[in-house]
């Protein structure tokens, strides 16, 4: 029994060493972040409910100045908080392959600009980019403010109960788009 346990631990440690000591892992470990435990990485730090998890992620973003890395079992994650860093990643045409986390929003957004990659992403981005020029977006300010106020009022009515926010956000987006189209 002891021998089997020893062999399992040896294999797990070997796997850990292989994952955390290759060239990309060495580069990844140069990014600041919390201490990594063998095999489990940082996953034990995140076995909490949603609210403490949110505050923990915010604290890490503040502690590490907006960019930090996490190992969750064998998944490496780089979290960005600084808008300029996020802009650099989002405007890159070289590194646009989406992470597995995007599969969670795929049922809602399908194969849109946010979830697509490659040629499909590039062609859709070229079509949409002119629509988000600063001068064009200024025209929508009043509509966005009105719709935001309405969204806040609807959410205030539900604040004492658990609520699925997706229908509210979907309505907000639809009314924001349609509100401006109708007023043109």
Mean pLDDT of 139-145: 86
Q: Is it the case that residue 109 has pLDDT exceeding 90?
A: no
Segments in the chain forming alpha helices (H): 2-20, 23-28, 50-63, 83-91, 106-109, 118-128, 134-138, 141-157, 166-183
d(CA 79, CA 34): 12
Mean pLDDT of 97-103: 74
Query: In the prediction, which pLDDT does 184 show?
Result: 43
Q: Are 96 and 85 in contact (CB under 8 A)?
A: no
Mean pLDDT of 148-158: 90
Query: In the prediction, which pLDDT does 183 show?
Result: 46
Query: In the prediction, which pLDDT does 148 show?
Result: 92
Give the pLDDT confidence of 86-96 residue by residue, as tens digits: 888 877 777 66
Q: Are 98 and 62 in contact (CB under 8 A)?
A: no
Q: Is it the case that residue 164 has pLDDT exceeding 90?
A: no
By three-state DSSP, how is residue 75 classified?
Answer: strand
Contacts of 9 (CB under 8 A, 6+ apart): none
Give the pLDDT confidence of 48-77 residue by residue, as tens digits: 888 888 899 899 999 998 899 988 877 788
Confidence of residue 116 (pLDDT cuts 50, 70, 90): confident
Q: Using alpha carbons, select from 39, 40, 35 the residue that is nearest to residue 17.
A: 39
Round the average pLDDT of the chain to a whole number and report it: 81
> Is 184 or 25 the better-scoring residue by pLDDT?
25
> Is 146 or 21 the better-scoring residue by pLDDT?
146
Q: What proportion of the chain, given as a percentage, has pLDDT over 90?
A: 10
d(CA 118, CA 97): 8
Query: In the prediction, which pLDDT does 152 show?
Result: 92
Mean pLDDT of 16-29: 72
């Amino acid at each position: 029994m002891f021998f089997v346990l020893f062999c399992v631990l040896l294999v797990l440690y070997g796997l850990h060493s292989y994952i955390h000591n290759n060239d990309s892992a060495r580069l990844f470990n140069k990014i600041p972040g919390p201490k990594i435990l063998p095999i489990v990485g940082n996953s034990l730090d995140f076995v909490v409910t949603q609210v403490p998890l949110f505050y923990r992620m915010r604290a890490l973003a503040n502690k590490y100045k907006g960019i930090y890395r996490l190992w969750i079992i064998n998944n490496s994650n780089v979290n960005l908080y600084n808008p300029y860093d996020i802009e650099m990643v989002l405007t890159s045409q070289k590194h646009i392959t989406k992470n597995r986390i995007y599969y969670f929003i795929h049922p809602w957004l399908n194969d849109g600009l946010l979830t697509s990659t490659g040629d499909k992403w590039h062609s859709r981005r070229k079509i949409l980019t002119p629509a988000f020029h600063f001068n064009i977006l200024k025209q929508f300010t009043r509509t966005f403010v009105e719709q935001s106020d309405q969204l806040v009022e609807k959410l205030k009515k539900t604040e004492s109960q658990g609520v699925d926010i997706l229908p509210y956000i979907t309505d907000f987006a639809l009314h924001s788009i349609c509100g401006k189209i109708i007023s043109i």
